[in-house]
Structure 1
Amino acid sequence: MKLWRVVAGVLAVGFIAAGVTPAWACACGGYLPDAQSRARAYGENALVQHDGGTEKITLSMAINGISKKAAWIMPVPAAAKVELGDDQLFYRLDRLTRPKIVYKKTYWPFRDLGIMRNSRGLAGEAAPGSGVNVRQQMVLGPFAVARLTGSTGTAVTDWLRTNGYVVPATLAANLTPYLTEKWEIVAVKLAPKRDGESLSGATPPLRLTFASQRIVYPMRLSKGATTSQTVTVYVAAEHRVDATKLPDASVKPELLFAGRVEDAALTTPANFLTAYTATYSEPGRITDDFTFAPSATDAEYQRVEVVTTNDGFWSTVGVLFGGLLLIGVGAAVIARVLVRRSRLS
């Protein structure tokens, strides 16, 4: 499958056509399929790496369906370098942060009675157009990339429309807080080599590198989402991190993993990986970005999954027979002792 076929599903900055309401992806950007498709983004994975004053965000979205047009917008706090990421990155991170499996045995008489039943997730202990400055335009693999700054959300969305992005009605308002804070906007759209081809599935990762004194993962654009979204954020830094600001204060992210790991993408000493996941069933409640700060300690954490196996009927019979035999032997010994004592007395 061609690389850009896999990507189309991730990127879409919008469309308003024939009254169709677009669906936004969670976290930094928005996925909006073309009007003829029913593709939707339902989640994303992101690796946030912070070392000194430099941050890297590598992002991949999960797409359900097929889209012939795709685009994506990501705000970042400073000028960004944009590159393609490692296709195998999130596969490796998933393996590194999986739960530890603990096996326990049960026996036939107690099977399905709730006794010794397994527990899951037990703890083991986050240009053209007035008012727009186009800093860079380039073609990167299957993507056409533009780096922009703008005076207003309307100025930026007007530029996007003029340059082939079909923009949802809510985008200008959702961009305004970032533009007020002088953030840069990275706009990405699919640049297929042949007409009529489409994309689906997980998108190839894109990596953005920029200056930042704090660890931040932009989320405020996601308030335009119309469906439930799940985001998993892996933070690689010198120490374990806590989520100090949440996109929606009522949604507490689940800690998946914390510990030092070895991976080609992570350099020492910024190889302490902390992983969080969160699901936003009401994206409209999102009002802030994720920010992370060092934890008080580098305490490691790994989930534990207990898997119960059953040894079956004959193993159970053997266990029961052995138990009865031991009881019988014990009873015989006690009887002999009592008889001996009665004779002596």
Structure 2
Amino acid sequence: MTQHTDVVVVGGGQAGLAAGYHLRRQGLDHVVLDADAAPGGSWQHMWDSLHLFSPADHSSLPGRLMPARPGETYPDAGHVVDYLTDYEKRYDLPVQHGSRVEAVRRDGDRLLVEADSGTWRARAVISATGTWSRPFLPAVPGRSVFTGRQLHTVNYRRPADFAGRRVIVVGGGNSGAQIASDLALNGQVEVTWVTQRPPRFLPDDIDGRALFDVATARRRALDAGRGDSGGVASLGDIVAVPPVRAARDAGLLTAKPMFSRLTADGVRWGDGSRTGADAIVWCTGFRPALSHLAPLQLRGVRGYIATEGTRAVDEPRLHLLGYGDWTGPASATLIGVGRPARDAARDITALCARNRQGNPA
């Protein structure tokens, strides 16, 4: 049986919860369909040592400050999971866990949302599935012949899993630097850190608070027609969180340039030399998880959907939230997703009001 609602939110992580909060404030009937069996979004799948870049009071969703814990400046992933779990309950958000959305289709004046738990007919859809479920692996020569273990950031958990092993960590962003540091500081793992270009560390005193301000200022400047400052990317690629600083200052975090290919038992460099490896950790980023939107045929250059704010240009009943700056400045962060979620809810409220006037069914 098909169910009816004003809005279906696809994804129950931080972006989906922020959307639910603002939809409730607007008085819109809605449901949040989340593929995970438990609250917490992607944070419940992170590696053990991961901490946020920002203090708790700068890592909050709308309406509810994240509480600080004594002796903890930067919350760990478990703290975030607890916060999101509490947030969902506090605002009694209509999240259906274990409900994976398979397709969103046009159905006359509505959008049809097909999930493994049932079908919904909605006036609007907010897609908030993020990127964690779609890890990117580069097409590196020899990847299929390497006989050791290969894993992506999403599969990494702790250094103890690699004790006594030779591990090559690939990636010059935050996850690459943090995982390489995690392994190197353990002392029981032989680590080689590889980056496509020389790593760029942000100044040690910069954390997520400053990054959010920079990203917001860039978006405001662009919206006002002023020049592009480059935003966060102009400052560097890696936030020097305490473990990264410790590994760097101890000389344990010196990057090597990208190898030319994988071999059966390691890698070969451009000069012909070789390094043995038991495992490769690919910290090579993610792509937006948008396969459920394929029936709408909206994807354009590099797989992105053209948007104005969060609204899809070619399907105004669809909003995309939390995928990065293209769906709102800093919208992939806890503190940054609130404003675009509010704007999306207001836009959908106006859309629903117009629809009810023309078709009250």
Which TM-score bucket, shorter chain as reference?
A: under 0.3
Structure having the higher Rg: 1
TM-score (norm 1): 0.20
When you count helix as a share of all residues, which structure comes out higher?
2
The structure whose RCO (Cα within 8 Å, separation 6+) is larger is 1
TM-score (norm 2): 0.19
